[in-house]
Structures are given as C-alpha cells and as structure tokens.
Amino acid sequence: MNPTAAKLIKIASILSMTSALGLLGWNLSLYLQGKSLPPNLTFLFWLAIVALFAHGVEGLIAAAKARSHNQNPLRYGIYTFFVGFIGLQELANRNN
C-alpha cells in the first residue's frame, strides 16, 4: 500500500474511532440523565457501534498475534484498535 495513503487512512481511522468513543460516551451520559440522542444522530450512533465492534475484533486479533512477532500484545492491540486494518497489515509485514 502507498505509504501516504496508509498514513491518511490511519489519521482518519484514529479520528473516527475517537469520535465514535465520544459519541458512545455522550449517549451513555444522556441515558444516565434520562434523555436520549437527537433523532438525527441515531444512524451515526449505530454506525459508530459497528465500527467500534469491527476495530475491537481487529485489536483482539492483533493482540493475539503480537507476541509471535515480538511485540507487546496490549500496546499493539490498542494501536490496531485505533488504526484498524493497517495495524494488522503492518504486523504481518513486520517479519517480511
């Protein structure tokens, strides 16, 4: 993959995961106050849930594979959670 494209994907992924976590936190805060998200954000909330789940699975896979590549599993799992598939690709290409 083109290094410039990979860097842009990483930046976009980090921003989107941080935003998704923020939206999830905001929804939880509103729920605890007995309120709910505005209706126009419902779709975005569910999209964020799907993205967080997908990145969570990628992070778990990276954490499981990291030790065999002489990497810290926790650190690499969190890194891959935020950057997505690019993190898995970097881990796979590390020994090549």
pLDDT, tens only, 1-60? 788 999 999 999 999 999 999 999 999 999 999 999 999 999 999 999 999 999 999 999
Q: What is the pLDDT of residue 1?
A: 79
Q: What is the pLDDT of residue 94?
A: 79
Mean pLDDT of 67-92: 93
Q: What is the pLDDT of residue 46?
A: 96
Annotate 11-22 with b (16+ C-beta within 10 A) or e (fewer): eebeebbeebee
Q: What is the pLDDT of residue 5?
A: 93
pLDDT, tens only, 59-79? 999 999 999 988 899 999 999
* Number of Cβ within a 10 Å radius of residue 66: 21
- CA torsion, ordered 81, 40, 8, 25, to nearest 10 deg: -30
